[in-house]
Chain A
Amino acid sequence: QDFKIGLSNGWVGSEWRTQMIDEAKAAAEAWKEKGVNVTVEVQSANVDVPGQIAHVRNFISAGVDAIIINPNSPTAFDPVFAQAKEAGILVIATDAEVSSPDALYVGIDQKAWGAAGAEWLARTLDGKGNVVAINGVAGHPANEMRVAGYKEVFARHPDIKVVNEVNANWDQAQGQQAMQNLLATYPDINGVWVQDGMAAGAWKSIMDAGKAGSIAATGEIRKDFIDLWTKDKLNSGASVNPPGVMASALNVAVLMLQGKELKEPAEAGQYKNAMYLPIPFIDSSNLEEAARQVEGKPGYYSYTSALSISDAEALFK
């Protein structure tokens, strides 16, 4: 069997995305052993939404069997996915959900991801204290879902007060600057909810201010940070969005291309087309184990997990 799969990634701003592509390519390679020849064509570049729509059109022109996309927008691809479906192409989105009825989502629930970090923070602070949040790009759907996640959790804890929320655009240095400004104006904060790479920046400011002992803050999943976390015994917890999500999606895609049917149709999420993957969580209880998984990897390597072929097969009839 021969399948040609197009992978589209519209943002190359983090190593996470690179690892995502690499893991997906490795997953395609793994199908060889099963006698299935999966070739991937990759378009991974910094583009805007129209640019990524062009990715999809290029895949249609190139005649792929399936498209797996980490989309820059939840709704903008509806028309072009419809076109892909007309051309008989299977479309799977990962990492960010899409509204298109012609596509399937395989990835984590970003809202639950945001909530998990908030749950940990609330628990660690014994349900009371002043909290600030440092968010990604305002208006970006993944960011907004995560924000919705923590808001819901903090709302359930009346003694936790979110004193300020700022945006640092998923940029580590901006995260550091934002934290620094926040520390200056709110000397009495107890907790920080911060996402992804910005967490490393925020923690740097917290440590520079000598407040590592008194502040609990969410963390991230790159090896560099996990090492720092271990070394300085940071009071941190990180919910994991594994870069392996695209590999998981690829395995699901191949099985679907083989004509297999899901045991339970993918009907989760607000668009009723999602298949959610589990969200691992790292805190002091399993930090060592996480450190072991990333041992020997470069500093930018993220803690990961993915559906193996057999994991995926188990989901099909």
Chain B
Amino acid sequence: MMASIEAPARSRSSSAVKRAFERYPFLPALIILVVLIALNGWFQPRSVSLVGMTGQIKTYLALMLLAVAQTYVIYAGDIDLSAGAIVSLVNVVIVGVMGQWGGDGVTIFVALAIGLATGLVCGIVNGLVVAALRLQAIVATFATSIFFTGLALYIQPVAGTPAPTAFWRTYGGRIFEIPFVFYMAVLFAILLVVLVRTRLSLRLLAVGDGQQEAFQSGLPVTRIRMGGYALCGVFAALAAFCITGDTASGDPLVGGKMTLFSIAAVVLGGSALAGGYGTVVGSVIGALIIGFINSLVFFVGTPSEWQNLVQGAAILLALMTGVLVGRRARA
């Protein structure tokens, strides 16, 4: 009962656990993910076969990328409610450009470059209104999301323009017997590893820990936050590429619903919404958790009218577990 303060408060092993959770805040999410994959496999063995997994990655790669996009702004304590609208806009832009210029190999790359630029510009616009004009991020990016959606509707008033066959056949196909999306996943992983080491990542996190403090320390806070939004725009564009590859068409509304899921994924991954703390890997895991919850709900045979409720409840439960376990472990 009477704890002596001379003795270390925590045993060595529990402080090792604490350190692990501190270094890898996505650990709780990883555990949830592994359990979910196991359950998917249990209820529908084919879902964890190569084909099943390829399908799952194809479907959720875009959400993974968008969750990563969202992570960079959340690092700095900001948020981007327009991320999904950027996906839609880039989607119609690249489909439009490919359609316009024929859709062979070269024009596809040109279109993708234009798409990246579009995402970047959208991100910079968000950065300008949030960081430079100092509008509140939630409302300001909601406003830009309406604007971007309007622009997408202007470019392509109705869903359905097809993307060139070469483009989606490549995305959905195989190279050397290995599905193309796996190469994408590997590239994506490399990109993340590289970005973790950048100054921008560290400085975004520092800004997230306290804008005023960061400013007083001499950091160019406005520029850093704009950098976060710009990066978000670029990753949203990458997400749009994946959506386009998987849907083979342009749709001015395609990304709209992804925004809130991208935020949920970031939190599932163990990052702090308040900024200053988190990892992009966690966000990727968070996106996968959402995906595997959705498929598991079907594979266990949930009656259709209950599917939305069970999904919603499971995601809420995962969010709560993640937040609680993470905090417990780090405390």
Contacts and interface: CB of A to CB of B under 8 A. Distances in A.
Let me know if chains A and B touch directly in the complex, using CB atoms closer than 8 Å: yes
A269 to B, nearest CB: 13
Interface of A: 7, 9, 12, 18, 21, 41-51, 53-55, 57-58, 60-63, 73-80, 82-83, 99, 137-141, 144
A58 B256 contact: no
Contact of A43 (B58, B162, B247, B307): B307
B110 to A, nearest CB: 22
Contacts of B156: 139
A257 B281 CA distance: 45
B293 to A, nearest CB: 11
A74 B247 CA distance: 10
Report, nearest first, the 6 A-B pairs whose CB atoms are least far apart.
A75-B249, A76-B247, A42-B304, A48-B257, A44-B304, A144-B158
Given A49-B251, A78-B162, A78-B168, 15 more contacts: A47-B257, A49-B247, A57-B52, A57-B55, A58-B47, A60-B55, A61-B52, A61-B295, A75-B249, A76-B248, A79-B246, A83-B172, A99-B249, A138-B153, A140-B158
A162 to B, nearest CB: 17
Nearest to B297: A45
Chain B binding site: helix, strand, loop or mixed by DSSP?
A: helix
A78 B252 CA distance: 17
B160 A74 contact: yes
Contact of B247 (A47, A53, A141): A53
B177 interface: no
A50 B63 contact: yes
Contact of B59 (A21, A54, A99): A54
Contacts of A63: 46
Contacts of A7: 304
B258 interface: yes
B159 interface: yes
B302 to A, nearest CB: 9
29 contacts: A18-B305, A42-B303, A44-B304, A45-B304, A45-B311, A49-B243, A49-B254, A50-B59, A50-B62, A50-B258, A51-B294, A53-B59, A54-B59, A54-B294, A55-B298, A57-B56, A58-B295, A58-B299, A61-B46, A62-B298, A75-B160, A75-B248, A76-B248, A78-B162, A79-B168, A83-B172, A139-B156, A139-B159, A141-B160
A138 B157 CA distance: 7
Contacts of B59: 50, 53-54, 57
A123 B291 CA distance: 51
Contacts of B248: 75-76, 78-79
Contacts of B256: 48
Contact of A75 (B46, B62, B161, B303): B161
B79 interface: no
B174 to A, nearest CB: 12
A47 B243 CA distance: 15
B162 A139 contact: no
A22 B252 CA distance: 31
